[in-house]
Amino acid sequence: MSSVSIRTKLTFISVFLILNLPASSALAEQARVNTESVHEETPRNIDHLSKTNPTVSPVFHTSSSGIANRREQGNSIEEDTKNHENHRYHVATVDFPHVSIPYIISAWILIAGLAKIGFHVTPKIGLICPESCILIVVGAIIGLLLFYTGLERVGPLTPNVFFLYMLPPIILDAGYFMPNRLFFDNMTSILLYAVVGTVWNALTIGFSLWGVGLTGLYGVDMPLLDTLLFSSIVSAVDPVAVLAVFEEIHVNEVLYILVFGESLLNDAVTVVLYHMFEGYTEMGQKNILPIDYLAGVLSFIVASLGGALLGVVWGILAAFLSRFTHHVLIIEPLFVFVLGYLSYLTAELFHLSGIVALTFCGMTMKNYVEENISYKSHITLKYTMKMLANTSETIIFLFLGASTVNENHDWNTWFVIMTILFCSVYRSIGVLIQTWMLNFFRLHKINKVEQFIMAYGGLRGAVAFALVLVVSEKYIPSKSMMVTTIIVVVYFTVFLQGMTIGPLVRFLNVATSNKTKPSMNERLHTRLIDHLMAGIEDIAGHLIGNYHLRDKFKHYNNKFIRPLLTRDHHVKEPKIFETYSKLNLTDAMNLVKQNNIMGSVTRIDQKISLSSLIRSYTQSNLPRYSDGSVLSSQGVTSQSESSFVNLDMGELAYSPSYKDLADAQLHHILSDSMFKPPRRLHRYSRDVIDETTPHPPFHHKTRMQIRHILNDKKSKKRKGYHHNNVRNDYICNGKGPKSQKYSRQKKQNTDSNSRKTTSLRFTLPASISEISEVENYSHQNQEMVLDDDDNPLFGTVFSPDDNGITFTARMTPPENDTHKRDTDKISQSTATMPLSCTITETTLPWKRDENCTDGCCVWKQQEFPPWVDNKEYHVYTSLTNTFMGKISSDADTKTPDVFTVFGLEKPIQEDTKNENINTVNKFIVSQTDNIGAESVLPKEEDSANLEIENVETANRFINRQLYNTGAESALSGEYSFYHVHPKESEEFVSKNQKAENKVDVSIEMQDKLAKVPQMLNSWQESQAFVINLSDEEIMSERL
Amino acid sequence: MGNKSSLMLQEEEIAEIQDETGFSPSQIERLYSRFTSLDKGDNGTLSREDFLRIPELAINPLGDRIVHAFFTDAHDDRINFRQFMHVLSRFRPLKKNRENKFNSREEKLRFAFRMYDLDDDNKISRDELLAVLHMMVGANISEEQLASIADRTIMEADTDGDQMISFEEFCATLERTDVEEKMSIRFLH
C-alpha cells in the first residue's frame, strides 16, 4: 500500500503543477486521504493487482487521480473562498487529468490505427513478417519511449483490461463468422486437440520443467505445482495470435479450422487448469486431498460444458430478440453485441470459460439473426464487428509490445530455453499422436505436412501473458521469472514461427484455400448431396454419422426452432435463397456497372467471329467516343450517355414519326415522375433512418437499388437530350420480330431526316417469350432492354416497367433467336449453333450450311415495302430486287452461293449508276431489317458496294467505275473486305474514302482478328465514315 | 446378431462381394445384419416399403429419390443383398492407391446426378430440377421464386445451350467441390 500512496502523491504534485495551484501540504494530505478511500472503493481484484503487480495500468492509475483531482478541486475552491488569495480567473487552463482516461485510450487506438496503416502502406514489410510482429515492435518502441521518459509504470496490458474489454470483440467476431458447418464437421478433431492436446501439453511441460528443475539448473526452487501452473498457462494456443497469422497465410479451410478451433476451445481447458493449479498452490501441496483432484476434473466439465451451454442460451436469446428488433431498426445491431458481451461476462462471472461461451453464442445466434435483421443492419453488424475485433487485436499486440519494457524482468536463461524447447517438442509429439489416432476415423486424412503446420502454428500470445500477470506473487515467488519467460515464448512463437510459417506454407505446398462464393449449382447440389448422404447413412445404419446428425438437426431446426426464432420461417432452405439473391445482386451490379464490357467476358473460344469481337470491342470503347470529339463533330449529341451502341445495322435507320417522338417524350415525363417516388417530407427522427418498410428476408428488395442506379443513368442521359434538338436514341436489335415493324416505320419516315432519331436498343438474342415484352417498349426510346446471351451469368432481363427490374430467367436457348422470325415453324429442339454466332454467321448465304433445307437458314421476306408494287422503281432502281428475286425463288431448291449471285464478275447495271446515294443507303438499311444481315450483300448497282477479296482488282474496278460515272475521287457505297489483310484494306479505304462510304470489314482471318480494333481506331480518328461490320455498324446516320 | 447373419452369409459370397465392392468382410457382415434387420419379410430381398420404413428416411425430403436410386438396376421391385452392396459401395471413401471401380468420383457424381434425372435421358431438365427444389425447399415458397432459381441454376451450368444440364455440365459445376470427400461415409467395421 505504501508504494501506492507514494505514487498518488507524485500524481498530485504533477496535478498541482498543471493546475497552477499552490501546493499546500494540508491540501495534499487531505487529498491523499481521499485517494486512499478511493482505492478502498476500487474493485477487489484491482486492489489485489496493484498490490502484487508493480505494473499498474494507467487507466486505474489515472482514474484514481482523476477522481481525486475533482474532489481536490472542490476542496481548493473552498479554501480559495476562505483565504481570498490572489487567484484570478484564467483565460485558458490545461486540465489533462480531466480527460486523461479517454485521452489515453484514444491515443492508443490512434497509434494502433496508424501502425496498421503504416504496415499496409509499406510495401515490403507484409512479405517479410505478419502484421502482429510489426505491431509488437511498434508497441515495444512506444514502451521504450515511455520507459525512458520515466513513465514506465504505464504498463497498459492489465489482465482486467485484456479479459474484460479487449478479448471479447475478437472472440465474438470469431464465433459469429465461424464457418459453422466446417466447425461441426471437424468437431471431434477440434475437441480432441483442444482438450486432450492442451492437457497433454500442460502436464508434460509441467512435469518436464519440474524434472529439469530438480537438477538445479535454474538456480531457483521450482515446486511441481508452480511449474504445472506455469505450463497450464503456456500450453494454450492463443486465438488472437493464431487468427492474426493464419488469416494472412490462407491455408486450406480444414487446417485453418483445426488450429483456430483448437485455439478457441482450449480456453476452457486453460481456464480450468489455471484455476485448479492456482487453487492447489494457494492450498499448499500438502493440503490437497484426492477429492480436490476429482473436483478439478469436474470443474473442467462444468467450465467447458457450462460455458458452451451458457453461450447457446444467450445466443438463442439474441436470436429470439432479433425477431422483434425490426421495430427499432437503428439499434438492431446493438443487440448482438450486447447479448454476446453479456454471455461472456456471465461465463466469467461463474468462472466458466468466457471464450467458449462467446464462441458458442456467436455461432448459435448467427443463422437466426441473419435471417431476421435487415440488410443494412447486417452490413453494420459485419463492419462494426470486424472493426472492433481488428482494433482490439491491434491494440493487444501493441500493448504486448509496450508491456515487455519494464524493469521487473527476471531472466533465467535455462528456464526460458527449457520452456521453449518443451513447448515445441511436446506440441509436435502431441499433434503427431492425436492425428495418428484421428486419421483412423477421419475421411479427410491430415497429412504429414498439415500436421507439421498444425504443430508449427501453435502460437502463444496475449492470453498467456495476461494470465501470467494475474498470478499472485504471494504464492508463486518466481512470478517475475514466469512473466519474462512467457514474454519470450510469445515473442519466439509470434516472431520466429509467425514469420516463417508463411514461407513454409508456400514451400511445403500446403493446399491453400480458394474461397469463392458458391455458385447456384454448387449450393444446390451440395444440399442434395447432404440429403443423399444422410439417407445413405440411414440406410447403412449409421446413427451417429455426420450427415445423419446434421439432417436430423436441420429437420428439427426447421420444425421447431426456426419458427420460434425467426420472423420468416416458411422457407426451409434459406441458404439456397441467400445464394440466389446474392448471385442475382452481383449479376445486376455487374450488369449496371460494367455493361460496356459484357459480352466480351467469356468468349474466348474458337468460334469467335470477327463481328462478335468487334461488337465487344465497340461496346467496351463506346463510352470513350460517345462522349465527345468524334461524334460531336458531326452534329450529333455528344451527351448521349448510352453505354450501348447500336451494333445492328438494321436498327440504325429507325427514324420515328413525330407521333412516335411525342409518345416517347410523354413516356419520359411519365417515367420520370413515376419511377421516382414522390418526395415526401421526412420528419427527422433519431429512431428511424429513412426506411419505411422493414426489409424483407433474403433481401429481394435489393434489386430496387439497381433500379435506382439505372434510373439515375437514364435521367442523366435525358438531361443530355434536352440540350439538343437532335435526339439520338439507339436501337440495336436486329433479331427481333419488331425489326420488321421498324423497317416499316422507317420507310414511312424516310423524309423526316431533318429531325433524325436513332434509337438504341441493345438486345442481343432474347428469348421469344421476352420479345413480346420487349416489343411493348420498342418505341420508348430511352429504355434500355438488355439481354446478353454471351455471358451466361447475365441471363436477366431488365424490363423497364414500373415494377423495377424483374429478373426473368430465360426460357429458350439463344440459338433459337436466330430463328425466331419463323417461330411458328421451327421447333426449338434441334438447335446446335454455337452461342457466339452473330447474325451474320447464321444468315449470310456464304456462311450457311449448304445442305440446309428447312426454313432455318434463309428467311423469305414476310413484309414488303410499298415500293415493291411500283414496277418501274422495282425494276430500275431498287437494288434489292436482285436478291429478292433470286434468293426467294431459289430458297426451296438450293441456297445460292453469294458469289454466284452477286459476284464481282457480274456486270454492273449501267442505268442504276447515278442513283441517289441517299436512297440507296436507305434501302440497304430497310432491307437489313427484314433479312438480317443482308446489308452486307453487295449491291452492285449503285456507286459501289464492293465485296473486296483482292485489293488490286477492286482498285481497277473503282477506276473503271469512276471513269464510267464521271465521279471525282472516290465511290460512294460500301466496301466489304473478305480475306484481305487489314493493312491493305486500310490503305484501300483511306485512298477511296468519301464521306458516304461504308466500309464493311468482314475479314475472316482468325490470326488477324486482333488487329482489327486498332484498324478501326485509326479509321475512326482519321475520318468519319461508316464502318459496317457485317451485322454491326456504327451509326450510319451520323454521316 | 452378428453370428446369425454370418451364418446366413456364405463365405464365398462374402469373398465375392468383397472382390466386387471392396468392402472388408467385417463391413459386409455388418451391413448384412443391417440388411436383414431392414428385411421385415425375411425373404432375402428388400422392397421399397422396407426402405421407407426407416424413420429417418421418412423425414428426409429426398427419401423417395434415394430409395428409388437403389432400384435402378433392379429388374423387379426388390433388390437383393448384392445389389444393395453395389449401391452402397459407391459411397466408400476413395483409396488413393487402389482401384476404385464403384466409388470413383465419376460414379459418385453419377449417383447424385441420377437423383435429379428421373427419366434417365442423361440430362436434367428444368422440370426435374424444379421437382427436386420443391422437395428440398418445401411447399411454402412461391412458384416463381423456385422457377427463377431453377432457371438461374440451369443457365449457370448450361454451356451447350440446350437448357438442360447434361452430366458433363453437372460435373463441371461441381469441379471445385470435394465430391470425393463429401460423398463418402466411413462404413463401420
* Mean pLDDT within A319-335: 86
Per DSSP, A1036 falls in state: G
Q: What distance lies between CA A886 and its chain's CA centroid?
A: 58
Instruction: Tell me which residue in B112, B161, B186 faces A441 most closely, judged by beta carbons.
Output: B186
Instruction: Tell me which residue in B54, B156, B184 faces A520 most closely, judged by beta carbons.
Output: B156
Instruction: Tell me which residue in B136, B161, B165 faces A815 most closely, judged by beta carbons.
Output: B161
The percent of residues in chain A predicted with pLDDT above 70, rounded, is: 48
- Measured CA to CA, the distance from residue A845 to residue A329 in angstroms comes to 63
Residue B139 has pLDDT above 90, yes or no: no
A531 — pLDDT class (breaks 50, 70, 90): confident
* Mean pLDDT within A753-775: 38
Question: Which of B48, B51, B59, B127 to substitute to test the interface with A, most A CBs within 10 Å?
Answer: B59
Cβ within 8 Å of residue A1003, ≥6 positions away: A610, A977, A978, A979, A980, A981, A982, A985, A1009, A1012
Q: Dump pLDDT digits (tens) for A556-581.
A: 888 888 888 888 766 667 777 777 87
Q: How much is the pLDDT for A301? A: 84
* Mean pLDDT within A895-921: 41
Q: Dump pLDDT digits (tens) for A781-828.
A: 333 333 333 433 333 333 333 333 333 344 434 444 444 444 333 333
Contacts of A540 in chain B (CB under 8 A): 31, 34, 88, 91, 185, 187
Contacts of B150 in chain A (CB under 8 A): 809
Contact in structure between A1002 and A977 (CB atoms under 8 Å): yes
- Helix or strand run (H / E) with residue A389: helix A375-403
What number of C-beta contacts closer than 8 Å exist between A and B? 171
Q: Dump pLDDT digits (tens) for A68-80.
A: 444 445 455 555 5
Contact in structure between A807 and A796 (CB atoms under 8 Å): yes
Per the structure block, which three cell numbers stand in for A891?
A: 430458297
Contacts of A524 in chain B (CB under 8 A): 133, 149, 153
Neighbours of A1034 (CB within 10 A): 24
Q: Please answer yes or no on whether A535 and B63 come within 8 Å at the CB atom.
A: yes
The percent of residues in chain A predicted with pLDDT above 90, rounded, is: 6
Instruction: Tell me which residue in B30, B148, B174 faces A807 most closely, judged by beta carbons.
Output: B148
Instruction: Tell me which residue in B56, B112, B181 faces A532 most closely, judged by beta carbons.
Output: B112
Shortest alpha-carbon distance between residue A575 and chain B (Å): 10
Contacts of B132 in chain A (CB under 8 A): 528
Contacts of B59 in chain A (CB under 8 A): 551-552, 555
Least confident of A115-124, A682-691, A741-750, B119-128: A741-750
- Report which of A923, A925, A861 is spatially closest to residue A891, judged by C-alpha positions: A861
Question: Which of B163, B164, B188 to substitute to test the interface with A, most A CBs within 10 Å?
Answer: B163
Q: Please answer yes or no on whether B156 and A792 come within 8 Å at the CB atom.
A: yes
A581 to chain B: closest CA residue: B149
Q: Dump pLDDT digits (tens) for A877-887.
A: 444 444 444 44
Contact in structure between B134 and A566 (CB atoms under 8 Å): no
Q: How much is the pLDDT for A337? A: 92
- Measured CA to CA, the distance from residue A213 to residue A415 in angstroms comes to 8
Q: Please answer yes or no on whether A545 and B174 come within 8 Å at the CB atom.
A: no
Contacts of B165 in chain A (CB under 8 A): 521
B143 — pLDDT class (breaks 50, 70, 90): confident
Shortest alpha-carbon distance between residue A689 and chain B (Å): 30
Instruction: Tell me which residue in A526, A548, A580 faces B56 most closely, judged by beta carbons.
Output: A548
* Mean pLDDT within A631-636: 37
A533 — pLDDT class (breaks 50, 70, 90): confident
- Measured CA to CA, the distance from residue A356 to residue A793 in angstroms comes to 42
- Measured CA to CA, the distance from residue A1028 to residue A1000 in angstroms comes to 4
A331 — pLDDT class (breaks 50, 70, 90): confident
Per DSSP, A531 falls in state: H
Is residue A970 classed as helix, strand or coil in its secondary structure?
coil
Strand A727-728 and strand A757-758: the pairing is parallel
A313 — pLDDT class (breaks 50, 70, 90): very high
Q: How much is the pLDDT for A433? A: 92
* Mean pLDDT within A579-604: 65
DSSP per-residue codes, A495-555: IIIHHHHHHHHHHTTPPBP---PPPHHHHHHHHHHHHHHHHHHHHHT-TT-HHHHHHHHHH
Per the structure block, which three cell numbers stand in for A776?
A: 411493348
Q: How much is the pLDDT for A832? A: 38
Contacts of A808 in chain B (CB under 8 A): 148
Q: Please answer yes or no on whether B170 and A522 come within 8 Å at the CB atom.
A: no
CA distances from residue A1019 to A743, A989, B2, B52 in whole angstroms, order as listed? 29, 9, 86, 73
Question: Which of A536, A554, A807, A818 to substitute to test the interface with B, most B CBs within 10 Å?
Answer: A536
The residue among A771 and A267 whose pLDDT is bigger is: A267
Q: Please answer yes or no on whether A539 and B54 come within 8 Å at the CB atom.
A: yes
* Mean pLDDT within A477-487: 86
The residue among A162 and A809 whose pLDDT is bigger is: A162
Q: Dump pLDDT digits (tens) for A865-875.
A: 655 565 555 45
Residue A91 has pLDDT above 80, yes or no: yes
Q: Dump pLDDT digits (tens) for A709-729.
A: 666 655 555 544 444 433 333
Strand A1032-1033 and strand A1026-1029: the pairing is antiparallel
Q: Please answer yes or no on whether B188 and A831 come within 8 Å at the CB atom.
A: no
Q: Please answer yes or no on whether A572 and B93 come within 8 Å at the CB atom.
A: no
Shortest alpha-carbon distance between residue B51 and chain A (Å): 7
Instruction: Tell me which residue in A536, A540, A809 faces B152 most closely, judged by beta carbons.
Output: A809
Q: Please answer yes or no on whether B149 and A519 come within 8 Å at the CB atom.
A: no
Identity at A861, one-letter amino acid code: Q
Interface predicted TM-score of the whole assembly (ipTM), two decimals: 0.91
B58 to chain A: closest CA residue: A535
Residue A606 has pLDDT above 80, yes or no: no
The size of chain B, in residues, is: 189
Instruction: Tell me which residue in B65, B147, B186 faces A443 most closely, judged by beta carbons.
Output: B186
The residue among A180 and A597 whose pLDDT is bigger is: A180
Radius of gyration of chain B (CA): 18
Mean pLDDT of chain A: 65
Per the structure block, which three cell numbers stand in for A824?
A: 411458328
To the question of pTM greater than 0.80 for the whole model, the response is no
Block residue for cell numbers 430465360? A810
Q: How much is the pLDDT for A287? A: 76
